[in-house]
Amino acid sequence: MSLWIVAGLAAAIYCLARGIVDLRQGAVAWGVLGIASAVVILSTPSPMHILSIRLPAGLSRALP
């Protein structure tokens, strides 16, 4: 695993844990923000998982 992936996972775990703690303490807005931050971090694609699709050259002329 890359260092950036490990750092991203650590940040997401921290945001998730902090969000849960905030929700249990009654700070709903901060809790939701922390959990949403973890979801955004985890859903961001890493450079190793980017998909590249090559289309045939003649296909561009067939589309309007």
CA-CA distance, 3 to 14, in Å (whole number)?
17
Summarize the confidence of residues 22-47 as an average pLDDT: 92
pTM: 0.68
Summarize the confidence of residues 1-11 as an average pLDDT: 87
Q: Residue 7, class by beta-carbon neighbours within 10 Å (0-12 exposed, 13-18 middle, 19+ buried)?
A: exposed
Sketch the domain layout of the chain as residue ranges: 9-42
Mind spelling out the 3-state secondary structure of 8-64? HHHHHHHHHHHHHHHHHHCCHHHHHHHHHHHHHHHHCCCHHHCCCCCCCCCHHHHCC
Summarize the confidence of residues 40-45 as an average pLDDT: 89
48 pLDDT band (50/70/90 cuts)? low
